Amino acid sequence: MAVDLGATSGRVIVGRVSGRSVTTDTVARFPNEPLSWPDGLHWNLPAIYQNVLDGVRRAVRDAGDVRGVGIDSWGVDYGLVGADGRLIGLPYHYRDARTRGLADELDEAALYRRTGVPNQEINTLTQLVAERRAGALDPSARLVFIADLLAYLLTGQLGAERTLASTSQLFDPAGHWSEETIDAHGLPRRLFPETRRAGDVIGELRAGLVDDLGLRAALPVRAVAAHDTASAVAAVPAAGDDVAYISCGTWALAGVELDRPIRSEASRAAGFTNELGAAGSVRYQKNLTALWILSECLRTWSRDGRARDLPALVRAAADVPGFTGIVDPDAPELARPGDMPGKIARFCERTGQPVPATEAETTRCVIDSLALAFAHYVGQAAHLSGSRVDVVHLVGGGANNTLLCQLTADATGLPVVAGPVEATALGNLLVQALGAGTADELVAVRAMSAASSRTARYEPRGSPAVETARRRFEALLAPAS
C-alpha cells in the first residue's frame, strides 16, 4: 500500500501487481489542514498519523494480503525527535511567517555551489536558522522529514530518505549531507540522521500496531522515492531519455532528469534546483506555484457566495479569448493566501494588460500563464543542461485539465503526453514492488507505469498568437531576472 501525503490532503492506496501492470484502489482519503497556534502555523501530525492508521486498517480489511507500506510526502518540512525518542512539538508549516525575509540574508551563491538549491523562505535550512536564532533548537534533537517521521512513528526507526533530504538546501546532490553548509550556519551535525535510498527496508510495524491493526504478522515499511515529486517522476511513462517532465498539482515542477547536478551561476540565476530522484538521478527543475492559484480563486468566489465548479470553469475558459492578460505564476504575491482574483487583476493592471472581468476570464488567465511558464522553464532546463527534449510528459492532477495540456503543447511546440494523474501513488507502489535502486529497475518501473496508465497525447498547434504571448511572458519575467 502507498501512503501519499500531500499539503492539502492524504490518501492510502492499495496496488495489486499482476504480470506487467498494476491496478490501484483508493481505500482512504482525508484532509490535511494546518493548525494556527499562538506560536505559528503547524501541521496537525496527530491527525495525519491517526488517519494513516485508519487507512492502513481499512486496507488490510479490504485487501487482505498486504505485503508492505511505502510513504511519500511533500518536502522541506520536518519534525524534531529528542534524545529520548519523543517528538518535540508539532512540525511547522512551510508557510509559517517565522522565515519571512530570512532567505535574503543567506549567501545564495555559496549555498548553490554546495547544494544546488536556490534560496527560498520555505527551505529546511531557512526554517532551521529561524529556530536557532529564536533559541528553540534542541542541540540533542534529530531532524526527520514528514514521510520519514510517519515511518518513525510506525517502526521506531530514524533516518532520512535521500530524495526528501535533497529538498532541504542542506544536502549535496552527490549523495550526502553538506557538512560545510551545516557548520557554516551553526547547526549541530547530530541533527542530521543517516540517509536511506529508495527501495531500502526501513523496518517492520511496531508490535503494538500489529495487534491494534488486527494483522496476522508485522508489515515491512519500505523507503520509496519519498518526496512526492520524486515518486511522480519515477512513474513518468517515458520509453526514452529525450523527455522533459511537468509534475502539476498544487505546485508544479518542470524540468529534466540528469546524471549530474548543474550548479552554474546561470542555473542559480534562473532559479533551478537540483533534487535527487529514484535510482540516484538528479531532477533538474524549476518549482513554481500552479493549481493552488485556481484553488485560491475558487476559495475566494465561494466565500463571496459565488461557489463555482472547476471543470465547468475550465470549459467556460476555453470559450473566451486566450492570452489577453497573463501573470507570472511565481510572483511572490500569488504564492500567498488571500483574494487571488483581486491579486491577478492588480497584477494585470500594474503591467498594463487587460484585466479579467469574469470568473471564466480569470480562469483562462491562470491556465494561459501556467502553460507559458511551463514552456519557458522546460526550454530553460533543456538549454542550461544541454539536454535534448522531444516530448513533454505532464503528470499529476494537471493531466485532467485538457485546456492546460493543449496550451502547454502549443506553447512548448512539443507533443505533450498527459498522465498518469495518480503518478505519485503509482511511483510509490511500483518502487515498493520493483525497487528503484538501479537504472534498470527504474526502466522497469516506467514500463509498468506505461502499461498501467491511461494517457492522452496533445500535438502542438502552430499559432502566431502563442509566439507573441511567449515574448510577453518573458518580458514579464525580465524585471526579476
Secondary structure of the chain as H, E, C letters: CEEEECCCEEEEEEEEEECCEEEEEEEEEEECCCEEECCEEECCHHHHHHHHHHHHHHHHHHHCCCCCEEEEECCCCEEEECCCCCECCCCECCCCHHHCCCHHHCCHHHHHHHHCCCCCCCCHHHHHHHHHHCCCCCCCCEEEEHHHHHHHHHHCCCCEEHHHHCCCCCEECCCEECHHHHHHCCCCHHHCCCEECCCCEEEECCHHHHHHCCCCCCCEEECCCCEHHHHHHHCCCCCCCCEEEEEECCEEEEEEEECCCCCCHHHHHHCCEEEECHHHCEEEEEEEECCHHHHHHHHHHHHCCCCCCHHHHHHHHCCCCCCCCCCCCCCHHHHCCCCHHHHHHHHHHHCCCCCCCCHHHHHHHHHHHHHHHHHHHHHHHHHHHCCCCCEEEEECHHHHCHHHHHHHHHHHCCCEEECCCCHHHHHHHHHHHHCCCCHHHHHHHHHHHHHHCCCEEECCCCCHHHHHHHHHHHHHHHHHC
User: Do residues 55 and 28 both lie within one domain?
Assistant: yes
Instruction: Judge whether 256 and 147 are in contact, CB under 8 Å.
Output: no
pLDDT reported for residue 479: 61
| pLDDT single digits (tens) 244-260 | 999 998 889 999 999 99
User: Do 329 and 414 sit in the same domain of this protein?
Assistant: yes
What is the residue whose three cell numbers read 532528469?
Answer: 257
| Range scoring the smallest mean pLDDT among 377-381, 400-404, 438-442 | 438-442
Residues 94/337, Cβ–Cβ less than 8 Å: no
pLDDT at 335: 83
Task: Please say which residue of 226, 255, 280 terminates a domain.
Answer: 226
Same domain, yes or no: 176 and 249: no
Has residue 129 got a pLDDT over 90?
Answer: yes
Q: Are residues 241 and 326 in the same domain?
A: yes
Same domain as 207, residue 243 = no
* Domain shared by 391 and 361, yes or no: yes
Q: Are residues 321 and 188 in the same domain?
A: no
Q: How confident is the model at residue 10 (pLDDT cuts 50, 70, 90)?
A: very high
Q: Closest Cα partner for 123 from 182, 169, 176? A: 169
Identify the active-site residue in 77, 172, 228, 330.
228
Strand partners, 36: 41
Q: pLDDT tens across 246-298, in order?
A: 999 888 999 999 999 999 999 999 999 999 999 889 999 999 999 999 999 99
pLDDT at 429: 94
Q: Locate cell 496550451: which residue?
A: 407
**Exposure string over 451-474, b if 16+ CB within 10 A, otherwise e:** ebbebeebebeeeeebeebbeebe
Beta bridge partners of 439: none
d(CA 3, CA 68) in angstroms, rounded, equals 11
Angstrom distance (rounded) from CA 45 to CA 23: 30
Residues 181 and 292 in one domain: no
Select from 181, 197, 226 the last residue of a domain: 226
For residue 329, name the pLDDT band (cuts at 50, 70, 90): very high
Show Cβ contacts of residue 361 under 8 Å, excluding neighbours closer than 6 positions.
317, 320, 324, 325
Q: Name the domain boundary from 196, 226, 256.
A: 226
Rounded Cα distance, 434 and 427, in Å: 10
Q: How much of the chain, in percent, has pLDDT values that exceed 70?
A: 99
What is the maximal distance between C-alpha atoms in the chain?
A: 66
Look up the pTM and report it. 0.93
* 42 and 91 together in one domain: yes
Cβ burial of 106 (10 Å; 0-12, 13-18, 19+) is: middle
C-alpha cell recorded at residue 315: 470549459
> What's the mean pLDDT in 56-66?
84
Residue 63's pLDDT is 75
Query: Would you call 13 exposed, middle or buried from its count of C-beta atoms within 10 A (0-12, 13-18, 19+)?
Result: buried
Same domain, 121 and 52: yes
Res 481 pLDDT > 50: no
How many domains are contained in the chain? 2
Pairing verdict, β 220-222 and 69-72:
parallel
Active site residue 228: yes
Q: Which is nearest to 4 in space by CA: 51, 36, 41?
A: 51
Select from 185, 169, 178, 171 the least CA-distant residue to 119.
169
**Which grid coordinates are listed for 475?**
518580458
Residue 98 reports pLDDT greater than 80 = yes
Check whether residue 130 and residue 183 sit in a common domain: yes
Contact 467, 474 (CB under 8 A): no
pLDDT on residue 423: 94
Q: Which CATH number goes with the domain that contains 219?
A: 3.30.420.40
Residue 146: give the domain boundaries: 2-226
The answer on 316 and 198 residing in a single domain is no
What is the C-alpha separation between 30 and 11, in angstroms, rounded?
Answer: 6
pLDDT value, residue 107: 97
